[in-house]
Amino acid sequence: MARSLVIKVTAGADAPERCNQAFTVAAAALASGVPVSLWLTGESSWFALPGRAKEFSLPHAAPLADLLDAVLAAGRVTLCTQCAARRNITVDDVIEGVRIAGAPAFVEEAVSEGAQALVY
């Protein structure tokens, strides 16, 4: 049975350390061969937009844009449907490779066999 990580990040620039930790864990897991699904919710929703991750800065941390690129290249990135709607973000606005999906998709991934869900 293959293990996978489903990571939900609720923090953005409002809680930079927690936000960066989620992206760092996602990228590290992918580099280790673990399948990853990263969910952008709450304030992290803004990172689904082009250029927003480049604006994020945290001393002594890997650049968020690089971490996001790594996850987009080898994993899955999903923007929460309700979070997108509350911010007037549409499918036409997001970075290529980011999908928009809701709670049923998150629950399906989180309870799938071998999945470990983490929330930051």
CATH fold of 4-119, please?
A: Hypothetical Protein Ychn; Chain: A, (3.40.1260)
**For residue range 25-43, what is the model confidence (pLDDT) as tens digits?**
999 999 999 999 999 999 9
Residue 117 pLDDT > 70, yes or no?
A: yes
What SS3 state is found at 56?
A: coil
Distance CA 40, CA 51 (A): 15
Residue 7 pLDDT > 90, yes or no?
A: yes
Query: What are the boundaries of each domain within the chain?
Result: 4-119
Distance CA 120, CA 118 (A): 7
Residue 61 φ/ψ, nearest 5 degrees: -125, 150
Q: Which residues pair with 100 in a beta bridge?
A: 79
